Amino acid sequence: MNMSMRLLSSAFACPTSETKQYRNVNFILSRSSVRVSSFVNKDVCNRNGRNTRVCCQLMHGHLEESYERKKKLQVSLQKPDFVRTLLIDNYDSYTYNIYQELSIINGVPPVVIQNDDWTWEELCHYLYEENAFDNIVISPGPGSPACPEDIGICLQILLECRDIPVLGVCLGHQALGHVHGAQVVHASEPVHGRLSEVEHNGCQLFHGIPSGRNSGFKVVRYHSLVIDSESLPEVLIPIAWTSTSTLPSIGSKVSDKYNGHEVQTDQSIFFDSFLPEAGNGSSNLIDYGQTRNARVLMGVKHSTRPHYGVQFHPESVATCHGNQIFKNFREITEDYWLRYRSLHNKEKRANSNGFKC
């Protein structure tokens, strides 16, 4: 891992004066109707003498905004100037590439914790008592979602936080499949720094992004595990898949044949957004009997929850339209909470008039 990135992770650099300030207090995220288990130990920044990687100054800013939003619960519905993300780091070298993207797109930097920094009680405290976050992003990482040491608290988030928008990237995507019963299996061959053209179903996560072969939507893949699309449960909907076999590796200029046509590919660009991920050899993983030209699942969404996953790396500079995916996830988050607030206000009006929805 890059040492400067690790220093950022341990010290958690706070936003500078140039960072966009928290302005709009009209976007209230009240979850008063949500019932969770009792919360413990509210002093989480230095719990039992253990220093977490959460910047207290930045965390305080998130909490301060939450208090202001609660006070303004009755204001008119409108979208916010910022979105507050909790970014779960699965001990990945380039989590801060995602951090940088979200800082710009959300209007405020996300809070980063590693997947074993907080207990479930601490997480629930910030999510449901303090209302400190609007959504969660689960980073890539090494290992397997079937291994507790690799995935930490992420599985419980995907299972229990049904009322909070979540985006899983690579390992986070695999975790979304695993927690709902899909098989995460060894791919027929590892894909290390390869580009693939992707087709999608036009759902909101891919709004404004072209689809299919020769569309210009190419993504960076770096993984040896995949969700077996044949094992998807009904609650998970496939939303993206490869439309061609993998293209040549980044940085190569080669001639290759796809469906009988010779293609010259020049990908001689430099970037450092590849995330090292490999299966941990767990015995519960089986080989995926796909051919080189078989379509590989690249994205899923939950049928009733605002939970999404992508197998590729939108934070990579070589992924076309990756920035748009993060923008779309912000839109998904805003729309979700606006609908929540609208329903909440409707219920309050009905109750005040003696009716129940």
Q: Which residues are catalytic?
A: 170, 313, 315
Could you give the C-alpha distances from 153 to 104, 158, 254, in angstroms and in order?
26, 9, 42
Taking a C-beta distance cutoff of 8 angstroms, is the pair 312, 242 a contact? no
First vs last C-alpha separation in the chain: 53
| Identity of residue 352 | S
**Contacts of 152 by beta carbon, 8 Å cutoff, 6+ apart:** 88, 90, 114, 115, 116
For residues 172 and 151, what is the distance between their CA atoms, to the nearest angstrom? 8
Give 260's Cβ-side CA count (13 Å radius). Answer: 0
**Contacts of 38 by beta carbon, 8 Å cutoff, 6+ apart:** 121
**What are the DSSP E strand ranges found in the chain?**
46-47, 50-51, 85-89, 111-114, 135-138, 166-169, 184-200, 218-227, 236-242, 253-258, 261-266, 297-302, 307-310
Kindly write down the DSSP assignment for every residue of 287-323, as one continuous string.
Answer: B----TTS--EEEEEESSSSEEEESS-TTSTTSTTHH
Cα angle value 251/255/260 (rounded, 5°) = 135
| Identity of residue 53 | R
Alpha-carbon Rg for the chain, nearest whole angstrom, is: 21
3-state secondary structure of 80: coil
